Structure 1
Amino acid sequence: MNLLLVFLGGMLGAPLRYLADKAVQARHDSVFPWGTFGINISGAFVLGALTGAASAHGLPQNATLLLGTGVCGAFTTFSTFGYETVRLLEDGSLAEAGLNALGSLLAGTAAAAAGFALLQLS
């Protein structure tokens, strides 16, 4: 059952990620990977909120598996983040690569903490 929940969540998260990335990138004429950045930050927020809800309000494990591991796991992507950072470095966009790496780490951690706090305190 657990595997099925993760699978179903992944079936939702992966196309959402693709569509969201295309929608964001279509609006930005920049070498910076705004789509992946926004997706990973929003996914970190949602995963933090799910963790807060599970901790404070007893969110069922099935919901955490479906939404956290499945949807958020397929929606966010470390591999694309890594690839795009290396691509920026290879293209000589050192400032953008640094901003992507450091910004993703800081903003992702802050978003996860904010999501957790929001549901932990409510």
Structure 2
Amino acid sequence: GSYRILLAHSSRDVRGEATPTYFSKQSMPLHVHHNTTVGALLADPRTAPILQEVIEKAKSMLAPAEDAPGEAAAEAITEEMSRQMLLNSPLRAAQMFFGMSKAEIDALIEKLQKAVDA
């Protein structure tokens, strides 16, 4: 990540600054479980492709018909609100968001953990 370093005589007298960026070749450890958030998995390059595939498949299965009348709730909840709810949801919520069974979620968790451990 990037770090901003300020050289100062006091907080009101900053005399220099630098912004070094640190890159690590090591991946952060990750243990995937039912409470791991979708956002954490999408942020990790080892698990993002797997979960993105599941999300795309669920989107195509759950997409409403184009001629379906809009409901008040659908109009009240914006796409950004839905996205944030999904990102902050644990994997166990995949039953609700993606219509997955507990066995399917367990298999997904195993697949994600194998990707992390590879």
Flag whether TM exceeds 0.5 (same fold).
Answer: no
Q: Which has the larger radius of gyration?
A: 2
TM-score (norm 1): 0.25
Larger helix percent? 1
**Higher RCO (CA < 8 A, seq sep 6+):** 1
TM-score (norm 2): 0.26
Larger strand percent? 2
